[in-house]
Structures are given as C-alpha cells and as structure tokens.
Structure 1
Amino acid sequence: MSTASTRLPEGRYGRSPAERGDRPLKIVGAVLGALLVALIGYFAYHYVGENEISGQVITFQAGDDAVRVHLEVRKDAGARGYCTLRSQAANGDEVGRADFRFDQHATRIDKVLTLRTTSRGTTAELLGCHAG
C-alpha cells in the first residue's frame, strides 16, 4: 500500500501567499522598531546627558519660621547651577521656596541650607537642579 502525498512539491509553484504578505510587514516592523530605539536613545541622552547637576535631600529639620536642609549636590567640575527647594505645611500649602546656587569647582558638595518659611514647614522637597 502506498500513500499519496497531499503537499505540493517545494519551490515548484513559488512562495505561498502567506510568505509573500509577510515580507513587507517585516520590513515595516523593522523600520518602526529602529525608529523607536532611536527615539528612546535621544530622550535618554537629553534626560541623563544634559543634566550636569543633581541633588538629594539627606535630612531636614523643621522649625517655626525656617527649615534646615542637608543637601548633597553632585555635578561636573566646571558646572554652575542651582537647586530649587520647597517646604509645605501639614495641610499641603507651600510655605517656602528658594533657589540655592552652586558655583564651586568641586564635584560633590554637602551643604546645610536654611529655607525661610512663612509658617511651620513639615517637609523639605528638592524640586530639581539645573545648570546655568
């Protein structure tokens, strides 16, 4: 007994319709994937690469008319800039905000700063550091 094959001989009649339709989709997918990777790289460079100054609040001590903030700043040796701090009251109202400049040549700066407030502040928040 012999069994008959139901498959067509390979390569005899060209590619199947599914194979012909996949190629343009693969090309479009590869191009879109490459563009997405390039876009992510662009934003990552501008987010990480351009910010020459970064800071971190280590501790803070609240008072009735000021908040003492221990701030650690890391920056490039020649970079100049400022960091913005704010304090909020227990109800969430902003009671103090100030910019503090960092023009020293050092790459790591630890400073205890005094942020004046209009009433008792319960937080010390670093809003960001900017070169310039």
Structure 2
Amino acid sequence: MAPVRDARPDGRYGRSADERADRKLKIIGATLGVALLGVVGWAGYSYVAGQDVSGRVIAFKVVSEHAVEVHLEVRKDAGDTGVCTVRSQAEDGAEVGRKDFTFDQRQKQVDEVVTLRTTRRATNAELVECTGAGD
C-alpha cells in the first residue's frame, strides 16, 4: 500500500496562503521601519537646525536667602543676540525666581556668571531655554 500524503506536492499549486501572508508582513514591516527612521531623522534634524542659540548651566551657587549665582555657557553665532531663561526652585519645588538674561557679545561662545534674584532660599538653578533675540 502506498503512503498517504497530507500536504500538496511542492511547487505544484503555487505558494501557500501562509507564504503570501509572510511576504506581505515583511514588506509592510520594512516599509514602516523605513518610514519610522525617516520621521526620527527629520525630527532630529529640525530640532538641531532650529537651535541657533544654545546654552547650559556649568555651575550654580546659592549666595544668600534671596540670590543665586549661575555660571552659564552660551553658544551662538558671533553676530547674534541670545536670550536665556533661568529659573530657580525652593526645596519644596516651588519656583522662587525666573529671569531672562541677554547675551549680545560678539563672540561664538560666552561664559558668564549671572545673578538670579529669588523670593526665598533656592536649592537649584536650571536653564529653561535659550533663543535668539528675534525668535
């Protein structure tokens, strides 16, 4: 007696439905992957390209009950004016000081210590943002 086959002969009736579904899923996955990479790349580029002024807090020092000295490093084009917003918080998290500092020096990098006045004792100082004066 001849053995009974449970499956169709290979290559005789074309691809199975599972193979077609697998191929479609691979194509859809690859397309979505490329699209996701494009979106991430575009978002990263637009974020970096849109920042003509950047800054960071190098250090801060609480000098009194109502003042904090903040050492800022600001990078900008030599001909641009930058405005950086700095804020300070108390121990309970409440904002106790906020001020915009303008940097119009004709340099690409400016290191400056600024004084932020506070309504009560501060525990930190942080840079909120830096923008160009015309932004």
How does the TM-score come out when normalised to structure 2?
0.80
Unaligned runs of at least 5 residues, structure 1? none
Q: Alpha carbons of 1:125 and 1:29: their partners in 2 closer, same or farther (altered >3 Å)?
A: same
C-alpha distance in 2, partners of 1:125/1:73? 14
| 1:83-94 equivalence runs, <5 A | 83-94=84-95
Is the Cα contact below 8 Å between 2:91 and 2:122 reproduced in 1? yes
Look up the equivalent residue of 1:84 and give its one-letter code.
Answer: T
SS at match of 1:104: coil
Shift of 1:8: 6.2
| 1:16-55 equivalence runs, <5 A | 16-55=16-55
Look up the equivalent residue of 2:13 and give its one-letter code.
Answer: Y
Shift of 1:83: 0.9
1:3-41 superposed Cα distances (whole Å, 9 cap, x missing partner): x8x686643332232222222222222221121111111
1:23-69 superposed Cα distances (whole Å, 9 cap, x missing partner): 22222222211211111112111222211222111122211221111
Identity %: 55
> What's the counterpart of residue 98 of structure 2?
97
Is the Cα contact below 8 Å between 2:96 and 2:122 reproduced in 1? yes
How does the TM-score come out when normalised to structure 1?
0.82
Look up the equivalent residue of 1:69 and give its one-letter code.
Answer: V
- Name the stretch that deviates more: 45-54 or 7-16: 7-16
> What's the counterpart of residue 109 of structure 1?
110
Q: Give RMSD over aligned pairs.
A: 2.3
Shift of 1:105: 2.9
> What's the counterpart of residue 15 of structure 1?
15
